[in-house]
Amino acid sequence: MNNKTIIVTGASGSIGSEIVKSLLKKDFSVIMACRNLQKGEAVLSDILKEIQGKEEFVSLEELDLASLASVRRFSESISRKNIRLNGLMNNAGTINRHFSKTAEGFENTVGVNYIGIFLLTQQLLPLLEENSTIVNVTSIMSSPRKINKQFFEFSHQKFSQFSSYSQSKAALMLFTSSLAEQTKGKLFVNAADPGIVDSNMITMHRWFDPLADILFRPLIKSPKKGAIPLVNAQLSYQTGYLFYGNKSEPIPQKYNQHQLKEWLWKETKKIVCPDNGNGVNN
């Protein structure tokens, strides 16, 4: 074994479980971070049936990105166990049909896909070994035009399922760009897009779902194929790149040079860890 440990969030999902399998096959140790431990245990059991002899190299931890308190408990648990990390795969994500709020009052899609990930990464930065890799899972739906100074103003009237998802992934791309710049020479920080994958994420809870299941799902990627760019990003020695398919390219300038990139970082930092000396303090 190479004794390197990687955290995978959303590890009980279809893509997450494929990431875990791939990393275990490559002799990494994996911490599966899951919101639903019962589901996580079932998925872990299936993984160990498929990949035998890895029981000592994979573990399960509870993590709900919709709760900043849960994020802090998770980080504290990892710290107490003196686990030195070599990677963080921010794979967990959601797309909500209806407006709802996280425990701290953020719109749920933005809270899970961006704010929770921001805090989790900040909390774990002191535990990451030098030359570790952070991967943030983005989407083709990401649009930097969705980022404005009303980003943190949430209401039922303003909510749109697709707009909120697009906004959350764009914010994550800006975060990835900033973090790659700030940690250059110490860490590798990249984004990865799995593409359109046959998973529960593409269930929109709308009238056309049954039709999409018949006509659309057979044509899109399997979770195993969707995991490929994510694992490639995790194993990369590049930083500030976007991985998709079997390719990679520098994060597009529309994110690197976004006029609100610094503003978004500072405002998010004020919200999630105003008095926390850990992490990157810019």
pLDDT digit string, tens, across residues 70-103: 999 999 999 999 988 999 999 999 988 888 999 9
Give the pLDDT score at 198. Answer: 61
What are the residue ranges spanned by the domains of the chain? 5-272
Question: Using CA atoms, how far apart are residues 65 and 72, in angstroms rounded to an integer?
Answer: 10
Give the pLDDT score at 97. Answer: 83
User: What is the pLDDT averaged over residues 216-223?
Assistant: 59
Q: Is the pLDDT of residue 220 over 90?
A: no
Q: Is the pLDDT of residue 205 over 90?
A: no
Of 257, 68, 252, 266, give the one whose Cα is nearest residue 149.
Answer: 266
> What angle do the packed helices 116-124 and 68-80 form, to 10 degrees?
20
What number of other Cβ atoms are within 10 A of residue 181's Cβ?
Answer: 16
80-84, 207-211, 237-241: least confidently modelled range: 207-211
| Residues near 61 by beta carbon (within 8 Å), at least 6 away in sequence | 31, 32, 33, 34, 74, 77, 78
Question: Using CA atoms, how far apart are residues 153 and 172, in angstroms rounded to an integer?
Answer: 17
The mean of the pLDDT values for the chain is: 90
Instruction: Note whether 124 and 118 are within 8 A (CB).
Output: no
CA distances from 11 to 242, 248, 255 (A): 21, 23, 27
Give the Cα-Cα-Cα angle 128, 66, 104 (nearest 5 degrees): 110
pLDDT confidence tier of residue 209, bands split at 50, 70 and 90: very low
Is the whole-model pTM more than 0.85?
Answer: yes
* Percentage with pLDDT > 90 across the chain: 77
CATH of domain 5-272: 3.40.50.720
Residue 135 has which token pair? 């991967």
Instruction: Note whether 196 and 221 are within 8 A (CB).
Output: yes
Q: Is the pLDDT of residue 2 over 70?
A: no
Of 172, 190, 180, 170, give the one whose Cα is nearest residue 230.
Answer: 190
Candidate list 165, 241, 244, 255, residue with the active-site label: 165
Sign of the four-CA dihedral 271, 151, 133, 231: positive
Q: Is the pLDDT of residue 134 over 50?
A: yes
User: What is the pLDDT averaged over residues 102-120?
Assistant: 96
97-101, 107-111, 226-230, 234-238: least confidently modelled range: 97-101
Q: How far is CA 28 from the centre of its chain?
A: 19
Q: Is the pLDDT of residue 225 over 70?
A: yes
Q: Is the pLDDT of residue 277 over 70?
A: no
Helix (H, G, I), strand (E, B) or coil at 33: strand
Type of residue found at 276: N
- Mark whether 114 is an active-site residue: no
pLDDT tens sequence across 260-272 = 999 999 999 999 9
Give the pLDDT score at 162. Answer: 85
Strands 29-34 and 128-137: unpaired
Cα(first)–Cα(last) distance of the chain, in Å? 36
pLDDT confidence tier of residue 207, bands split at 50, 70 and 90: very low
**Burial status of residue 212 (CB atoms within 10 A of its CB: 0-12, 13-18, 19 or more):** middle
pLDDT confidence tier of residue 197, bands split at 50, 70 and 90: confident
pLDDT tens sequence across 149-194 = 999 999 888 888 889 999 999 999 999 999 999 999 999 999 999 9
